Structure 1
Amino acid sequence: MSVEVGGPAAGRAGGVRGRAVLERVAGSQVVWIALVLAAMLAAFAMLRPHSFATGFNLLNLVSDAAILLLLAVGMTFVIITSGIDLSVGGVLVFSGVTAAKAMGAVGAESGTALWLGPVVAVATGLAWGVLNGAVVAYGRIPALIVTLGTLGMSLGGALLLTGGVDLRASGRLNLGLGLDRDLGVPDIVWISAAVTVALAVLLAQCRFGRHTYAIGSNTEAARRAGVRVERQLVRVYGLAGLLAGLAGYLSLAKYGITGVSAHSTDNLQAIAAVVIGGTSLFGGTGSVLGTVIGVFIPAVLQNGFQILGVRPFWQQVVVGAVLIVAVYLDQWRRRAGDR
């Protein structure tokens, strides 16, 4: 029995080989990005061993990256579906404002504020995310347009609620874990790490993750395989909004101020971290581990440049160059997979 060249069997075999090549290259990109991060850490440690390679400095570095990490992890899920979410920075600000308003109404130092603030922030972020997902999935409007619109709506809403003046919490808010005092590591770091690990497992090992990858790889094929594409998209964007809401509360807890004008580039930083970490802008490929590495590359650069006394503008130049290289590698591996 002969198999016709170029027939279905050959197509399936080529598809399997293409996916295998794609997976190998994607995995190697995460390894290379990790090596780049390790080389940066080693270089700054050798140049400034008594200022960079200290527990105090590294703890500050991790703490500064914790909020962006939450945004980037949510963005990872969205970009894997071949979507985009430009609204996360605005949702972060709006959620922080609503949390501050709610806690101010009951007294920021009261026991009620301890749970009311995060609940309001997370619920607000989730609502914005579900709105994004519903309009993208059921309204068939490109995610770029939808989330650009909700970015303006959320930032405008925050300005309306505050009158353009930042709201202050009375002192640093207690996140309730006590790990900052007991272990010397800020609660914000533990919360961000726990959420990141949980979502890494969700993406890599659970049906939610498989459906997310399937939509990004081939939406129509996923639909024919039984994936409820529209419902899954609403869930993915809802997750991104929820994480942005949590990030908004953690930002308020860390700085004690809403910072309405301080998060204008958070969405772009999150997207850059995800892409640098190996997630494809075309969807279907990516990992939370890669995103974690992608978040810390610009964080280490900023911290190291500050210690070395290098003008901070160079960080933008270097991160931009790394981003371009990451997108080039993404396109190269897609062509390798097609071949």
Structure 2
Amino acid sequence: MIVKSPVTETVAIGTIDEPRTSFVGRVVRAQAFQIFLVLLVIVGIFSAIAPDTFAQWSNFRLIIQNASILGVLAVGMTYVIITAGIDLSVGSVLVFSGVVAAITMRALGGEGWGVATIGILVSIVSGLAWGVVNGVLIAKAKIPPLIVTLGSLGMALGLAQILTGGIDIREVPSVLTTSIGYGNVFGTIPTISVIALVVIVIGAIVLHFTRFGLYTLAVGSSEIATRRVGVKVDGQLIKIYALSGALAGLAGILSLSQFSTTAIAGQSQTNLNVIAAVVIGGTSLFGGVGTIVGTVVGLFIPAVLQNGFVITGVQPFWQQVAVGAVLITAVYVDQVRRSAAMRGNSQGLWRKFVSGGRRG
């Protein structure tokens, strides 16, 4: 009698061949590409309605500049949502970091690049500290991300109001506002947008071409299986939430530079706008799937809608209705794809992760 040994998970995952798909086919089926087509249609409609106002470089420049701060936050949020987590605190951490930086710079004299540099570092470190706290509570204390970040949302905003007495700080070094907030590169490109672009490019490279990014995707695909192959999942989660917090701190100093004030009451919808952009761009709320490019495309959907509605005389409140509809549609499409993948027993990412990218 011959006894067959059971097939292990690693063998099963690592040896099944995946159907070959052309690069063009993968691009066309990608949700980010489909959302990009929607964005092009929206831009085309507004350009046809208002060619003399909407379809101008000065207007596109304004849209890009307005979306830059959200773009920085969205990079960190993409990593978080890929792990099937959530970070509701980014808007409040942005405010808190900006407040601490403003208080520090005011205490140091308030002017010059030396003071401004210290303020930038203080803002980023403040955001990083909140991110580490979130990560430790989620990874080590096993408290759900929704509860942890909802709590830190209130705590960060409350502490910011306590530090300022509820009154915005307007003493911002002029070098920040003139060089970063309203500065330009090559004459017409906003400096703040260049900074956001650098963050986006680095975030994309790390996510798609480094071990850190691979581990992030693997955690979102299957946390249990990722632990079994030796990845320190708790440490990975702490790093991801720390990254989100640090980028919120960077966004805090960018906001301070752009608006010349801490804008304590001006970030109430920031976290929801960022989450919507990430999900619209194709990052799955269920984890394991997401791209920075898709997030950027998703970010411009609400930005273009808001700008276009204002220019064409439509009430800007319709922007919230339109974005909500697109968001629900994006989640529905994601659910349909997941159901189809489960029926087809498709687990491409995990197979590649366990097999080290080898086939067969």
> TM over 0.5, yes or no?
yes
> Which residue of 321, 324, 334 corresponds with 2:325?
321
Structure 2: how far apart are the matches of 1:70 and 1:28?
Answer: 23
Structure 2 residue aligned with 1:125: 127
Deviation at 1:236, TM superposition (A): 0.2
Q: How many residues align?
A: 334
Structure 2 residue aligned with 1:210: 214
Structure 2 residue aligned with 1:256: 260
Asked if 1:95 is matched to 2:76, the reply is no
The TM-score with structure 1 as length reference comes to 0.92
Structure 2: how far apart are the matches of 1:329 and 1:43?
Answer: 24
Structure 2: how far apart are the matches of 1:19 and 1:138?
Answer: 40
Alignment of 1:28-43 (within 5 A): 28-43=30-45
Deviation at 1:215, TM superposition (A): 0.3
Task: Pick which of 314-323 and 102-111 moved more.
Answer: 102-111
Deviation digits for residues 251-287 of structure 1, max 9, x if unmatched?
0000001000100111111110000000000000000
The unaligned stretches of length 5 or more in structure 1 are none
> Which residue of 75, 83, 86 corresponds with 2:85?
83
The unaligned stretches of length 5 or more in structure 2 are 344-360
> Which residue of 281, 284, 287 corresponds with 2:288?
284
The sequence identity of aligned pairs, in percent, is 51
Structure 2: how far apart are the matches of 1:66 and 1:278?
Answer: 19
Task: Give the direction of change, closer, same or farther, for the CA distance of 1:25–1:197 in structure 2 (3 Å limit).
Answer: closer
RMSD: 2.5
Deviation at 1:129, TM superposition (A): 0.3
Q: Is the 8 A contact 2:88 2:153 kept in 1?
A: yes
Q: Is the 8 A contact 1:76 1:287 kept in 2?
A: yes
Structure 1 residue aligned with 2:191: 187
1:136 aligned partner, one-letter code = I
Asked if 1:62 is matched to 2:75, the reply is no
Structure 1: how far apart are the matches of 2:339 and 2:122?
Answer: 45
Task: Give the direction of change, closer, same or farther, for the CA distance of 1:321–1:16 in structure 2 (3 Å limit).
Answer: farther
> Which residue of 154, 157, 160 corresponds with 2:159?
157
Deviation at 1:73, TM superposition (A): 1.1
1:231 aligned partner, one-letter code = G
Task: Give the direction of change, closer, same or farther, for the CA distance of 1:213–1:197 in structure 2 (3 Å limit).
Answer: same
Structure 2 residue aligned with 1:72: 74
The TM-score with structure 2 as length reference comes to 0.87
Task: Give the direction of change, closer, same or farther, for the CA distance of 1:12–1:171 in structure 2 (3 Å limit).
Answer: closer
Structure 2: how far apart are the matches of 1:200 and 1:181?
Answer: 22
Task: Give the direction of change, closer, same or farther, for the CA distance of 1:305–1:171 in structure 2 (3 Å limit).
Answer: farther
Deviation at 1:106, TM superposition (A): 1.2
SS of 1:139's partner is coil
> Which residue of 231, 235, 238 corresponds with 1:231?
235
Q: Is the 8 A contact 2:68 2:193 kept in 1?
A: yes
Deviation digits for residues 234-263 of structure 1, max 9, x if unmatched?
000000000000001000000001000100
Deviation at 1:28, TM superposition (A): 2.2
2:35 aligned partner, one-letter code = I
Task: Give the direction of change, closer, same or farther, for the CA distance of 1:201–1:214 in structure 2 (3 Å limit).
Answer: same
SS of 2:63's partner is helix
Task: Give the direction of change, closer, same or farther, for the CA distance of 1:15–1:329 in structure 2 (3 Å limit).
Answer: farther
